[in-house]
A and B are shown apart, each in its own frame.
Chain A
């Protein structure tokens, strides 16, 4: 479903993604893990057509994100790292707008919106403004929104960041249910290793732009001789804290400041 071959992204002289390749077969839950600034979000941006790679090839459901943008865009749903709802609109209006953008016919839109809002337990709150929602509710609404156009792949960039354990468990329950019942391929990033261990069929660990290990959670633990995925992760990526700029653009600014360019 997702095929990446020899993908590279440079920002100026900084190489954010360094010759990575991987394949995610249809119907799998794929965890993309790595320390801060490893290149996770940059990779997702390229896969989701909003950033041009420096070199390499990608395929999503058989289509190229660079040259068949519209086909690729209709085939995935995404939950971004930070919220992307319109908080001045109601939950219902946010979904309506998404449905129109993705050309879901209006009668079908109504049926799907109700089903999804019930699925993420927000149907009773559908007429409330999003600005009055909690962080967890916004996330659930974003997941519902990402599913409205029946995507084949769901990208989740740290979907549980900053949420309490109860909400996190719920969100992963929704995602697993989707994967089981509708065979949606899921590509996610997270910093919570115990979540990745519980949910993912397969994991790739990326560090400094390179994929350093790939396999099932069990095989990663076996390879590193560790008891938990968290220990395996530390064994592979080291103890050092990464100094991270928020985004590659920030990193470029920092480089510019340091070198006066």
Chain B
């Protein structure tokens, strides 16, 4: 347990010391929030969708978490190239402990980033519709963090090329984000896109978070929780498997 804790703590310390990283990764969610939130707000309300900031906030928080979480995977490649990975791999601890520590640390980082984004959304005018559901919102934020950190772990363990990582991730992450219901309601989309939304894990995160924070859910909080929970367990296992196969 100590091992998992200290490795997770290492990730958090590295993150909190990199101010530029925190501020830099806030840029994109804020841009989306301001541009879309105020740009589409009127139209959305006129079309009968209600307050757009209320709708958008869970999506923007998910976005902040998603991007931060998957990009923590790059630290595996980084540590492999700059040596620190060796230090952990020759230590008398199991690979599972190492990968759990790293993944939980990465998820913690993504979670903090999500909370900072949430704070920005409050400043922009978002209000909780039912403050009693705050713990539920935190659970969903954590599940999204853990799921996508695991995705980062899988890709980071397979790839050795530091430069390929962002390219591949962008290719993967942008569609996940756009077709998750983060930005617009998905009920009235064409059938093919609705299917895409249905198989996108992030959809369940966004939906759960939205259910807990503001607008009510599409799939139901229970379904969201079960789907996310199962997927997280699967991805975490796959991540551990690929990580344990890393050779120096």
Interface residue ranges, A against B (CB under 8 Å): 45, 48-51, 69-71, 73-74, 78, 80, 82-89, 93, 96-98, 100-103, 145
Determine if B38 is an interface residue (Cβ-Cβ < 8 Å): no
Residue of B nearest to A106 (CB): B2
Distance from A260 Cβ to chain B, minimum over Cβ atoms (Å) = 21
Are B6 and A100 in contact (CB-based, < 8 A)? yes
Residues of chain A lying within 8 A (CB to CB) of residue B164: none
Whether A84 contacts B10 in the complex (CB less than 8 A), given A48-B90, A49-B90, A73-B90, comes out as no
Residues of B within 8 A of A (CB): 2-3, 6-7, 10, 13-14, 17-18, 82-93, 247-248
Whether the Cβ atoms of A51 and B248 lie closer than 8 Å is yes
In the bound complex, do residue B247 and residue A101 qualify as a contact, i.e. CB atoms below 8 Å apart?
Answer: no
Chain A residues closer than 8 Å to B13, beta-carbon distance = 88-89, 93
> In the complex the two chains form, what is the Cα distance from A145 to B2 in whole Å?
18
A50 near B248 with CB under 8 A, answer yes
Docked pose: A241 CA to B239 CA in angstroms: 43
Overall SS of chain B's interface? helix
> Measured between alpha carbons, how far is A73 from B84 in the docked complex, in Å?
16
Residues of chain B lying within 8 A (CB to CB) of residue A50: 86, 89-90, 247-248
From known contacts A50-B90, A100-B6, A101-B3, infer whether A85 and B84 are also in contact, taking CB-CB under 8 Å.
Answer: yes
24 A-B Cβ contacts within 8 A?
A50-B89, A51-B248, A70-B92, A70-B93, A71-B92, A73-B90, A73-B91, A73-B92, A74-B92, A78-B90, A84-B85, A84-B87, A86-B10, A93-B10, A97-B10, A100-B2, A100-B3, A100-B6, A101-B6, A101-B87, A101-B92, A101-B93, A102-B92, A145-B87
Most buried by A among B88, B90, B248: B90
Q: Which of B10, B14, B83, B88 contacts A82 (CB 8 A)?
A: B83
Inter-chain residue pair count (beta carbon < 8 A): 67
Closest to B17 in A: A88
* Inter-chain contacts of B2 with A (CB < 8 A): 100, 103
Contact A83 B92 (CB under 8 A): no
> Which B residues lie within 8 Å of A71 (CB)?
92
Closest partner residue, chain A, to B84 (CB atom): A86
Bound complex: CA of A71 vs CA of B91, how far in Å?
Answer: 10
Q: Is the CB of A80 within 8 A of B83?
A: yes
Contacts A50-B247, A74-B92, A89-B13; A83 near B83 (Cβ below 8 A): yes
Partner of A101, one of B18, B85, B86, B91: B91
> A87 vs B92: C-alpha distance in the bound complex, in angstroms?
22
> CB-nearest residue of chain A relative to B15?
A88
* B91 neighbours in A (Cβ, 8 Å): 73, 98, 101-102
Question: What is the chain B residue whose CB lies nearest that of A94?
Answer: B87
In angstroms, how far is the closest chain B Cβ from the Cβ of A155? 9
Q: Which residues from chain B contact A89 at a C-beta distance below 8 Å?
A: 10, 13-14
- Assess A85 versus B83: contact at CB under 8 Å? Given A78-B90, A93-B13: yes
Chain A minimum-CB-distance residue to B18: A88
Residues of B within 8 A of A83 (CB): 82-83
Measured between C-beta atoms, what is the minimum distance from B43 to chain A in Å?
A: 45
Please measure, in the bound complex, the distance between the C-alpha atom of A103 and the C-alpha atom of B92, giving whole angstroms. Answer: 9
Nearest-neighbour CB distance to chain A for B246, whole angstroms, equals: 10
> Chain A residues with Cβ under 8 A from B90's Cβ?
48-50, 73, 78
Residues of B contacting A96 in the complex (Cβ-Cβ under 8 angstroms): 6
User: How far does the alpha carbon of A82 sit from the alpha carbon of B10 in the complex, in Å?
Assistant: 21
Chain B residues, Cβ within 8 Å of A88: 13-14, 17-18
Instruction: Check if A84 sits within 8 Å of B86, measured CB to CB.
Output: yes
Known: A45-B248, A70-B92. A84 touches B83 (CB 8 A): yes
In the assembly, what is the distance between CA of A71 and CA of B92, in Å?
7
Cβ distance B11 to chain A, nearest Cβ, rounded Å: 10
Which residues does chain A contribute within 8 Å of B88, judged by CB atoms? 101
A63 nearest CB across to chain B (Å) = 11
Do the beta carbons of A97 and B92 come within 8 Å of each other?
no
What's the minimum C-beta distance from B156 to chain A, rounded to whole angstroms? Answer: 16
